[in-house]
Chains A and B, each alone.
Chain A
Amino acid sequence: MKYIDPESLLKLSNLHLRARTVVEGFISGMHESPYRGYSLEFVQHREYAPGDELRHIDWKIYGKTDKFFVKQFRDETNMRAYILLDTSQSMLFKSDTNMDKLTYGVHLVAALSYLLLHQKDSVGVTLIDSRVRKFIPSRANLSYFSTITEVLENIEPGDETKITDSLDEFSKYLKRRGLIILISDLFDEPESILQSLRHLKFKHHDLIVFQIIDPAEANLPFKGRAIFESLETEGHLRRQIYSEPELIQSEYSNLFNTFIENYTTGCRQYGIDYCLLKTDTPFEIGLGSFLASRKA
């Protein structure tokens, strides 16, 4: 299967088209959808009441009984999905020709939304940074995708990353259990983030965590002497550190791997699906990971 690399995807004109390209390409590539059989299912009849849609009146019953009855079905969606996208400043980092993490995240959100809506699931999108920046409630209508893409296309980066606070705030918006998809670089304290995720899990939510990182964040490939300036502000100041990347590269990689390992181990421990994505990774990998977890 040939994946569409993120860079070439950017050449497509709008987000809607990009999401569709990703998802349809992905589905057609799989030949068999694991979600076949999900369809609307009749449950019972009830007497017509004013306000009911006329298209739901069972005209056969009216012919037999001369009374109006409407058909009742199961809920319109199988699942409520809440996609949380981290829009903090650190998500703006990019190296070389890769797209920045936020753009990558936006595409991933769009693709997942499209996929879920296509499957008649209900999807809502929440933008977070140090708090919940925007909450779009979940809907199962495919036309709702346009609303989602409009929001995604107009994202403005927020403050510093405080995932824990954001998750705590987000949990107050949740009325019913569902699937929570967190898309972030998770550049915060792993213990506190995992604690918050565990808290959501405890409330019977399904959780998928997509950690997006730039390849340069993993191996620090810079040469010579450098002054590293933080993308996120602390108050009004940006922190700066003088260092020589070549000297610290090995130690940095160890620390970063431990950091990733914390999330991998923690998520596994709490039954949370975890997927590490680098911005040079094709989106299909992310979608594949998602669907594999759903299938299981």
Chain B
Amino acid sequence: MNLTFINPALLWILPVSLLPIIIHLFFQQKPKLIKFSYLKFILLATKTVQPRKKLLEWLLLLLRCLILFLLCLAFTRPVGFFGTYGGKKNQQIVLLLDVSYSMSYSESGRTRLMEAKNITDKLLDALLPTGKSATKVLNKQISIVTFSDRINEFTKFTNDINSLKKFLATVEQTYYTTNLISAVSFAYDTFQELPAGERTIIVISDNAKHILPEEKKDIKTLIPDYDSSVRLVFIPAAGTDICDNTSINKLEISGKVLRFTSEIENFSSIRTNWSISMFKDNKRTYDNLLTIQPFSKLNYEFAYTENIEEVLTGKLQLQEDSLTTDDIYYFVHQPEKDINVLIIDGDPKLGGVNRESYYLESALRGETVEKNSGFSVTICSPEEFEKKDIIRYDVLIFCNVEKVAEIETKEEQMLIFFLGDKVSPEDYPDWLRENIHGRQKGEFRIGSIDKNSAVLSKFDEFETDKIKFSEVYELGDIDSNVIMRLNNDMPLLIEKKFESKEIFIFGSSADRDWTNFPAKTFYPYFVRALCKYMSKTTTDKDSFTAGETVRYNFEGRVRNADVILPEGTGVEPAKVIYGAGGDEIEFSKTDYPGIYLLRYELSGRQSKRYFSVNADRSKSESDTTLIKPDRLKEFFTRAYLLILENDSSLSRKVVNIIEGEELTKNFLLFALLFLGMELLVAYKSK
């Protein structure tokens, strides 16, 4: 008979069954010496009684040991297989094979997926023997399902080992994350299509922590068909619990001077010194060495100073470790266009430092911060403004302008009003006049800034205490949001929307006539933040995770769209979806990480666009630390759940579980029987 244990960890309590013997041997009193007058009767009585009593005593000892032994064994939930195949009808087995990217973790030159396939192959041989034992397979139906965060592929239920092995040979690594729950749920669904039988799900994965959601949820809510009578067998394809992995979790590229901001995480228990490199079009352009503390994240930043005129594609790569998939992060960066700003200066004076727009221009051109600021600034007088093609500009700044006529703006165009002594609110359009009231003199300071406003999100980094205002306009908050207030609670900066217009009104001057604000370090940041506010939402996404569907919308008709796969491995057509306002391109074959090139014909013109695909790092897939058995048992409540070691006896154990019977009840019954015998013998011996 072969025994397998559902709770093998409890086997360590088996020595408890020796407790009666230990007590008997080590806790017995030393015999005391008694001087006695006549030993004849003691000798006779001892010869007559003691052997029988001793025998009963040993029998009691044996029975007590047996009772404890059986109880301990019952706790381990033994499953016994008595060597008879095919005794049970309708054995239905789903082999869930994990093909997520963490399965590419390499140990001794073999990936965990290779090991998982090897395990599956052995199990198929054991469960579906060929040759003389071929009749043993008739009661079994096996399906192989490969899963990651989705069901990748599966076979129908069969006992044809050849077709199953053929399928197994084609199983490949994916770059998706793991979702065990959806895979188990799928297995339950497939069972529903079969007649009643004994059902087993065998999960062959790396058994890492990430196979289950971090939060404990009721299994019934996750898997409505959850059936605790279905046996769940976990076989880890991982050789060790050591996680030798460092991952690039994310990468952001920003700024005119490109700033690469990456998050790198060390999942191992040792400090790692890794080299990091940046490749532009497969050419190494940046190198450095990192030190990352165990179990910690590092925000690593570096600047790429080369002037980028066109799209930048490449990858950031860490030195290779056991899991290489997350060592590379592909990126595509579209060069940022300058924001076109038109400043209408209502008080140019004699020009130079005296003009109203001097500080605004300085702030935007970057003379006080950095050279390539990303703003293209044009200054004009109110008279010149009337002749300007304002469609070209992203932002219009009215700076102490006396009169403002009705302005026709385009979508996403922004109007900013700085006030001053020249301003005549009654000559402003109604949607402005209603917010601008009388002037007030005094000494004002900045009182508060709306922390929830996206406009000035980093104001905490600056000192605003020393900014003073000697004269301000009293602003009303009709149909507007107040972003800044003065210390007397009067609005200083308001934001309002009118029709398609995005409007900001600043209650004081843009130069130093009424305030010292333009001379403070906060001023350039303030002006730039205002001007950039609208441009944030306009960028199309060009970074995707593996398996994600890529969608781009166009204002016009699109034809002949296709995608060149990474490393030129092939070309796949992209789907064009007709839309009234313009067509949409959809592409979903983003299975492999790399740089993809989308080619299309837009309104008769040949165009292209790059996008990058990376394995999803957002779900702890890179952390390959093994999950604790208790966590699995806690999750799959009341399930017949086993975690088997991947050792030489694995196939035998699996056959035991499939073909065998759980013997817990039998062991408990025997323990009860022996307890009865023990009581009887104990009574007899007295």
Contact = CB atoms under 8 A, between A and B. Distances in A.
Interface of A: 90-93, 101, 185, 187, 214, 217, 220, 222, 224-232, 239, 241-244, 247-248, 250-252, 255-256, 259
Given A93-B36, A93-B37, A252 B29 contact: no
Contact of B50 (A187, A222, A239, A243): A243
B36 A229 contact: yes
Contacts of A228: 34-36, 39, 42
A284 to B, nearest CB: 25
A90 B32 CA distance: 19
Contact of A231 (B32, B36, B45, B49): B36
B29 A224 contact: yes
Instruction: Enumerate the 10 nearest inter-chain pairs by beta-carbon distance, A residue then B residue, closest first.
Output: A93-B37, A248-B45, A90-B37, A225-B31, A251-B45, A252-B45, A187-B38, A255-B41, A247-B53, A243-B46
B32 A252 contact: no
A214 B28 CA distance: 29
B48 interface: yes
B41 A252 contact: yes
Interface residues of B, number: 24
Residue with the highest number of chain A CB atoms closer than 10 Å, among B33, B40, B54: B40
Interface in B30-80: 30-46, 48-50, 53-54
B37 A214 contact: yes
Given A247-B53, A255-B44, A255-B45, A231 B34 contact: no
Given A248-B42, A252-B45, A259-B41, A242 B31 contact: yes
A226 B45 contact: no
Nearest to B52: A247
A33 to B, nearest CB: 37
Contacts of A224: 29, 31-32
A290 B49 CA distance: 39
24 contacts: A91-B37, A93-B35, A93-B36, A185-B37, A220-B42, A224-B29, A225-B31, A227-B32, A228-B35, A229-B35, A229-B36, A230-B35, A230-B39, A241-B42, A242-B31, A242-B46, A243-B42, A243-B50, A248-B46, A248-B50, A248-B53, A251-B48, A255-B41, A255-B44
Nearest to A216: B36
A256 B53 contact: no
Contact of B36 (A230, A250, A251): A230
B41 A226 contact: no
Contacts, number: 90
Nearest to B33: A227
Contacts of B45: 243, 248, 251-252, 255
Contacts of B38: 90, 185, 187, 217, 230
Interface string B18-35: 000000000011111111
A128 to B, nearest CB: 16
B147 to A, nearest CB: 67
Given A220-B42, A224-B31, A224-B32, A251 B37 contact: no
A247 B37 contact: no
Nearest to A91: B37
Contacts of A226: 31-34
A282 to B, nearest CB: 22
A187 B42 CA distance: 13
Contacts of A232: 37
A255 B41 CA distance: 6
A256 B39 contact: no
A251 B33 CA distance: 21
A271 to B, nearest CB: 27
Given A239-B39, A243-B42, A251-B45, A225 B34 contact: no
Nearest to B57: A247
Nearest to B32: A226
B53 A244 contact: yes
A217 B37 contact: yes
Contacts of B48: 248, 251
B45 to A, nearest CB: 4
A91 B29 CA distance: 30
A91 B36 CA distance: 10
Contacts of B37: 90-93, 101, 185, 187, 214, 217, 230-232
B453 to A, nearest CB: 89
A247 B56 CA distance: 11
A228 B44 CA distance: 13
Contacts of A243: 42, 45-46, 50
Contacts of A214: 37
Contacts of B36: 93, 217, 228-231
